[in-house]
């Protein structure tokens, strides 16, 4: 199937120079934010800070020297530790790295939109990401969100550009193996892409399944050093991290709100493996008692996952107060959530436009739709929060370019016969 071109998007901005200017402005805003707002780690950001220092100073990945953990994936902490090892405990190199990754994401998301929907869709997607408030605020936060997005989008762009050769699946596995060190949820992405190959592109089943299997095997190979480390520490293989059971329990227990909550007192003092086993057992038991309630709760969490976007304002709380005062929190949160809701609205409209074509039974397997569904489903089953919808942002933005093209053609004063409108009407 030919990708939907997005030539009509030019009517939104008169010409491409406006879009390029938005990208440049996004880069400048990240630099300005990093100069104005100091990095002062709190919450999860502080955890990365502590982990990195213990790696450098004691050779221990954990909260305390000599006490090893695998509760969180090690990837981002290891990168921060590398900068601390080279430059000392200085946030400037980490901020520079965050800016580099954030700018890379601008162009990677644009490249993905270009591969799926045409040149102008790529420009618009880059501009939307460039001006995304929370991605700007993330510059001064120790967090894995943007790095994970960058690795996943790089893998998908490789898949979109390299075709369906076996070698392309191998390289896909290499990139996603690195992404798993940041968040293990990347492990099953080859299966999602295999579904797009078979359902959307109508690729042959056997080569696709073999390629998918090769990609997963490469991911496991990339992860094997860390898996072996975990085996030596815990006496049992742990692929990447042990926190799935805790997150699963947080979303499935009698007191759950669907969001983060402290672990129960009855697991205090337990080892990570024992704790994980008992939390999984408790969660499965609770689900088995009321399976209907589990389904309803999962649907509710699916909606909660997409409600608002203020996490990086919260994680910049001390820096914002130091520079602007506490009054600035509310308007910054309003700007961030307003931008998110606008993008989400356009993304949902784009999803409908793509899925409503005559061959809708193929379009629902479009990678933008399936990837959005995949990340959403994973967190709807476990625990939700606005930080967990960040991996969906590239796909929401790419789909938003489709609805933007549709609207720009519909309301343009001049006649337009672009393929985007024809495809949307089909």
Question: What is the reported pLDDT for 412?
Answer: 58
Sign of the four-CA dihedral 116, 122, 126, 132: negative
Can you give the pLDDT at residue 84?
97
| Nearest Cα to Cα of residue 26 among 145, 136, 107 | 136
Domain residue ranges of the chain, discontinuous segments joined by + = 7-241+290-425
DSSP of 112-181: HHHHHH-HHHHHHHHHHHHT-HHHHHGGGS--SHHHHHHHHHHHHHHHHHHTT-HHHHHHHHHHHHHHHH
pLDDT digits (tens, 9 = 90+) for 136-165: 999 999 999 999 999 999 999 998 887 668
Write down the pTM of the prediction.
0.91
CA distance 123 to 111: 8
Query: Quick count: other Cβ atoms within 10 Å of Cβ 169?
Result: 27
- Go through the chain and tell me how many residues it has: 426
In this structure, what token pair is assigned to residue 331? 């308007």
**DSSP SS3 for 33:** helix
Is the Cβ–Cβ distance between 151 and 39 less than 8 Å?
Answer: no
Q: Which of 170, 260, 179 lies closest to 215, judged by CA?
A: 170
pLDDT confidence of residue 355: 85
Q: What is the pLDDT of residue 72?
A: 94
pLDDT in tens, 407-423: 877 765 444 434 443 44
Cα(33)–Cα(292) distance, integer angstroms = 47
Name residues of the chain where pLDDT drops below 70: 1-16, 163-164, 411-426
Q: Report which secondary-structure segment, H or E, holds 370.
A: helix 367-381
CA distance linking residue 75 with residue 34, whole number of Å: 23
Give the pLDDT confidence score for residue 163 in this predicted structure: 65
- Nearest 5 degrees, angle CA 101-CA 106-CA 109? 110
Do the Cβ atoms of 273 and 236 come closer than 8 Å?
Answer: yes
């Amino acid at each position: 199937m030919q990708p939907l071109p997005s030539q009509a998007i030019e009517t939104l901005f008169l010409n491409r120079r406006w879009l390029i200017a938005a990208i440049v402005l996004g880069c400048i805003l990240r630099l300005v934010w990093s100069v104005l707002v100091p990095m002062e780690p709190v919450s999860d950001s502080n955890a990365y800070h502590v982990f990195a220092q213990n790696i450098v100073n004691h050779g221990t990945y954990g909260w305390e020297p000599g006490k090893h953990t695998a509760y969180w994936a090690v990837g981002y902490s290891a990168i921060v530790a590398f900068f601390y090892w080279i430059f000392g405990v200085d946030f400037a190199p980490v901020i520079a790295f965050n800016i580099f990754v954030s700018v890379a994401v601008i162009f990677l998301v644009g490249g993905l939109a270009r591969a799926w929907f045409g040149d102008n869709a790529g420009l618009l997607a880059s501009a939307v990401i460039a001006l995304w408030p929370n991605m700007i605020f993330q510059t001064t936060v120790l967090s894995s969100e943007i790095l994970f997005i960058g690795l996943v989008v790089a893998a998908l762009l490789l898949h979109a550009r390299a075709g369906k050769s076996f070698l392309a699946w191998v390289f896909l596995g290499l990139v996603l193996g690195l992404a798993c060190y940041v968040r293990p949820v990347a492990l099953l992405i080859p299966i999602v892409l295999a579904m797009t190959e078979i359902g959307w592109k109508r690729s042959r089943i056997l080569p696709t399944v073999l390629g998918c299997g090769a990609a997963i095997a490469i991911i496991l190979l990339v992860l094997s050093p860390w898996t072996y480390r975990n085996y030596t520490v815990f006496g049992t293989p742990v692929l990447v991290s042990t926190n799935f059971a805790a997150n699963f329990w947080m979303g499935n227990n009698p007191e759950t709100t669907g969001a983060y909550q402290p672990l129960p007192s009855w697991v205090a003092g337990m080892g990570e493996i024992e704790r994980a086993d008992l939390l999984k057992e408790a969660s499965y038991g609770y689900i088995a008692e009321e399976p209907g309630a589990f389904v309803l709760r999962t649907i509710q969490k699916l909606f909660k996952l997409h409600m608002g976007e203020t996490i990086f304002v919260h994680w910049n709380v001390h820096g914002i107060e130091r520079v602007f005062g506490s009054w600035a929190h509310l308007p910054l949160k309003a700007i961030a959530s307003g931008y998110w809701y606008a993008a989400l609205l356009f993304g949902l409209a784009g999803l409908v436009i793509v899925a409503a074509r005559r061959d809708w039974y193929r379009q629902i397997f479009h990678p933008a739709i399936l990837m959005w569904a995949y990340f959403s489903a994973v967190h709807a089953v476990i625990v939700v929060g606005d930080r967990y919808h960040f991996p969906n942002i590239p796909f929401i933005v790419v789909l938003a370019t489709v609805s933007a093209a549709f609207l720009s053609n519909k309301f343009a004063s001049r006649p337009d016969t672009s393929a985007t409108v024809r495809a949307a009407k089909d």
